[in-house]
Amino acid sequence: MANTETRKIDRLNTESDRRVEERADELTRSETQFKMRARLLDIASEAIIVRDMNGLISFWNAGAEKTYGWTREDAIGRNIHQFLQTTFPVPHEQVEKELGEKRFWHGRLTQSKRNGERIILDCRKTMNDENDAVLEVNRDITTVIKAEEMLRASEKLAAMGRVAGIIAHEINNPLAAITNIFYLLRNHPLLSDEPRALVERAEQELDRVSHITRQTLSFYRESKQPIMIFMPELLDDVLELQQRLLRESKITVRRIYQSTAPVTGYPSELRQVFMNLVGNAIQAMAEGGTLGVFVRESTDWTKNQRGTIVSVIDTGMGIQPEDAQRLFQPFFSTKSTKGTGLGLWISQGIVQKYDGRITCRTIRGKGGNVTCFRVFLPGIGALDRAHHVENDTASHELNAPAAH
């Protein structure tokens, strides 16, 4: 009888040990799976956040650290929407109501990073089965949204350019007729000296209008094939288009063209580059200054390549050292809300397409700052004699640019 009871106890102990081992193995597997899931969440590029129904953060993965700039220690226990200064597309109460009813919400939020930058996020919220926690998966789509906006803006500008070209073309026909009429009128034998002088003045103004229409047509007419481009002519066109802003900003222009060696390419693309550089220089000299535009032949020794260097130099506020490394990054701007941050990035892309380079540096001195943007474009041509054009008001020369 005692042996029977002993065997029963042994079997129970064995069964108990087996169950304990199975439970331990199960817990170990669960723990392993949990750790694996946690690691997967942590290596995800999206910001994955868990918070309770009061908004207090309990989980903050590495993707969230990268997206927002805040560490896990900074975020845990903070109210998510106060912490990130969330702006909802609809009232917050409406989002929470939909989340409670459907257990899921998808939309776009605007939140703040640690450095104060506002970003746009694609957000997915899911409530757990116990209704006491919410999982949020946020993906930064700021760059995508801005790129879409800029694409729409560029399409509008392209359409405006085509319309401007059509208008300029249509104006040319009656303009030619009016010019011929004034020519006949000026040479009419019955016309006295005083009216003839007025007719001559009218002809001069008509010439200006004709020049503007030709310039507009050339600016927006894209070549189907690359053509020979003479940089002095292209730069003169750009400066003439910016003449009003230069005059209003009291900026003196100094032009030194030491080479007319041609560059092969598309005029509208290079106009875009130098319109951007000259426009930036004008904005940097809101209180007036001197704008230097220099052209010379040079060699890119890194590629042993002969070409043309165009330097656009201003005496404006200069570029801060901490900004210099980011100048050509998309959406980086030193103009606060006024700039899109795409001008220099697009310009660099165009120049690189020509196998060229664009660089920038600021020299700071007691007399002020001098900033030089230098564009190297490959090309072949003999060094031509200096073609030097100066504005009548350019009495004080740029000293620092001579070093560039």
Give the number of residues written for the chain: 404
Instruction: Tell me the chain's radius of gyration from C-alpha atoms.
Output: 34
Q: Which of 46, 121, 116, 111 is closest to 79 using CA atoms?
A: 111
Considering the four listed CATH numbers 3.30.70.2190, 3.30.450.20, 3.60.21.10, 3.40.30.10, the one that applies to the domain covering 18-140 is 3.30.450.20
Q: For residues 278 and 238, give the distance between their C-alpha atoms in angstroms, rounded to a whole number.
A: 8
- Sorted by where each begins, the domain ranges of the chain are 18-140, 145-221, 224-403
Q: Domain 145-221 - what CATH class?
A: mainly alpha
224-403 CATH fold: Heat Shock Protein 90 (3.30.565)
Per-residue pLDDT of the chain (404 residues; tens, 9 = 90+): 556 666 666 666 666 666 666 666 665 555 555 445 555 556 667 898 889 989 999 989 888 999 999 999 999 999 999 999 999 999 989 998 998 889 899 999 999 999 999 999 999 999 888 888 888 999 999 888 887 877 777 677 667 767 777 777 778 778 888 888 888 888 888 888 888 888 888 888 888 777 777 766 665 555 567 888 899 999 998 898 888 889 988 999 999 999 888 888 888 788 889 988 999 899 889 888 999 999 998 887 777 788 899 999 998 888 877 777 777 777 666 665 455 567 788 888 888 888 899 988 888 877 778 889 999 998 753 333 333 333 433 333 345 444 33
**pTM metric for this prediction:** 0.48
**193-220 and 267-284 are packed helices; what angle lies between their axes, rounded to 10 degrees?**
110
- Give the position of tokens 């879409």: 148
Q: Compute CA distances 315 → 221, 253, 329, 338, whole Å.
A: 33, 11, 23, 21
Between CA 372 and CA 378 the distance in angstroms is: 19
Domains 18-140 and 224-403 are alike in CATH topology: no
CA angle 156, 172, 181 (to 5 degrees): 155
Strand partners, 369: 364
333: Cβ contacts below 8 Å, ≥ 6 apart: 339, 340, 341
